[in-house]
Amino acid sequence: MYRSIIFASISLFAAVNGQGAGDSTKEVHPKLTAQKCTGSESCSAIGGTVVLDSNWRWVHNKDGYENCYDGSEWVDEYCPDAATCTKNCVLEGVDYKTTYGISTSGDALTLSFVTEHEYGTNIGGRVYMMDSSDKGYQLFKLKNQEFTFDVDVSNLPCGLNGALYFSEMDADGGPAEAGAAYGTGYCDAQCPHDIKFIEGEANVEGWTPSETDPNAGSGKYGTCCNEMDIWEANSISTAYTPHGCTQSGPYRCEGTECGDGDERYSGVCDKDGCDFNSYRFGEKSFYGPGMTIDTKKKFTVVTQFITDDNTANGKLVEIRRIYVQDGKVIQNTASKIDGVEGDSITDAFCDQAKTAFGDNNDYKKKGGLAPMDKALTNGMVLVMSVWDDHAAHMLWLDSSYPLDKDPSEPGVARGTCPTDSGVPAEIEASAPKSTVTFSKIRTGDLNSTYPSKLARKVRRS
């Protein structure tokens, strides 16, 4: 929601996106099965592999093995300007498990937070699901459908985020020679500036190294698109959030349209989004260790995209959440905040929440659910990641935020983590073996992806 993503990468070979592919390491995508269902007993395979985002990859000169990007800065010899850098540099294949701590087993994907390897240390990671060709991203069209997965967040403490979400990326990875097979073309509603190549061009101009992350920086341009956060969570808190944009993505932004700093609400995307976090809406004992959703154990997350006419051609009017754990269907909590009614995301719910919390209603200004309707019609790319937060220490997810507001005010408290938690250097040292595991990914007709005998009839708005 309030995240300003600065992705960490391997310490020696700082990560970037490039045009071509190198030949030092063969790229072999880890296998991961997913299912498309029309009924609980009628599912077929989709996807088949995952690919690491290009921003984590080593990029070197095309004719050798010298870094094009070192630490948090571009190497002038190869990258004096965008065009030269794009021509000179290629990105490499990777050893997923040894270097990045990414592993799969059948229908399960595990992402490790810190991985020590022979070249240095990798922090976090982000992968995309590929389609059956293993050359393009799998596109998910989810109107009048549901998306379901199992997750284990038991090993994610305060300050970390094991995220699963959809991004309005191009299926082919955009205008990069290496393309989706090398994880190119990322965008999201935060319009991140730390992406090294945007629309096939090096983001060299105006590049400024990060003051807190030794492997990151930011360039003149950002890359924006609609983003549907199905799952942002650790073992303490969780939220699901649509972020709409007035521009279809991927869209390269500059200046005010990126919505940076004091211009946050003048950009093309709704960076805050409209989040549903049960703790924030007054239910303090629903999600966490030993609670109704017991995060010490694996559970199932179901997200339903409801339309006004119960067809894929209808207008998206509601995004609902259901859980399943220990064979029991658990409905989402209803708001306990005065003036806010509902247990799901609708335009009316979001308007009430923004008023009750005193938040800027950029959600409404950017069109409410309408941008997400369009993106889900066209198809979105599945993203899974684990990360820490150099900008806001993940307090917007699991603590009290903003820090200048009283935690007793409606909407400020989002979880039980201390307000001094989540400092990246501290959590990287204290919880390096943290992991998140996503498994049994499936999508399909409403009430088809979890046991139908447990499902109640979906309530329509």
pLDDT tens profile 268-307: 999 999 999 999 999 999 999 999 999 999 999 999 999 9
| Alpha helix stretches (DSSP H) within 61-209 | 82-88, 96-100
Closest C-alpha among 216, 247, 243 to residue 232: 243
The answer to whether the bond into 157 is cis (omega within 30° of 0) is no
Rounded to whole angstroms, the Cα distance separating 41 from 449 reads: 9
Rounded to whole angstroms, the Cα distance separating 30 from 51 reads: 7
280: amino acid identity, one letter: R
Is 12:120 a contact under the CB 8 Å cutoff?
yes
The answer to whether the bond into 250 is cis (omega within 30° of 0) is yes
- Report the length, in residues, of the chain: 461
What confidence tier does 12 reach under pLDDT thresholds 50, 70, 90?
A: very low
Active site residues: 227, 232
Query: Which H, E and C letters describe 192-221, residue by residue?
Result: CCCCCEECCEECCCCCEECCCCCCCEECCC
Rounded to whole angstroms, the Cα distance separating 74 from 81 reads: 10
Look at residue 42 in the predicted model and tell me its pLDDT: 87
Mean pLDDT over 403-411 rounds to 97
Rounded to the nearest integer, the mean pLDDT of the chain is 93
Look at residue 119 in the predicted model and tell me its pLDDT: 86
Look at residue 23 in the predicted model and tell me its pLDDT: 86
Rounded to whole angstroms, the Cα distance separating 61 from 183 reads: 19
pLDDT at 6 over 70: no
pTM (predicted TM-score)? 0.94
pLDDT at 451 over 90: no
Mean pLDDT over 46-63 rounds to 95
CB count, 10 Å around CB of 120? 15
**Residues above pLDDT 90, as percent of the chain:** 90
Is 269:293 a contact under the CB 8 Å cutoff?
no
Burial 9-41 (b: 16+ CB within 10 A, else e): bbbbbbbbbbbbbbeeeebebbbbbbbbbeebe
pLDDT at 3 over 90: no
Using alpha carbons, list the distances in angstroms from residue 383 to 115, 127, 130, 163, 365: 20, 6, 10, 8, 26
Rounded to whole angstroms, the Cα distance separating 61 from 165 reads: 33
In this structure, what token pair is assigned to residue 420? 């001094």
Using alpha carbons, list the distances in angstroms from residue 444 to 33, 148, 304, 400: 15, 9, 10, 36
Would you call 73 helix, strand, or coil by DSSP? Answer: strand
Using CA of residue 300, residue 345, residue 458, residue 314, what is the dihedral sign?
negative
pLDDT at 9 over 70: no
Mean pLDDT over 9-28 rounds to 64
Using alpha carbons, list the distances in angstroms from residue 319 to 228, 230, 270, 290, 322: 10, 10, 17, 27, 10
Look at residue 200 in the predicted model and tell me its pLDDT: 87
320: amino acid identity, one letter: R
pLDDT at 105 over 60: yes
Name the residue with tokens 């948090």. Answer: 72
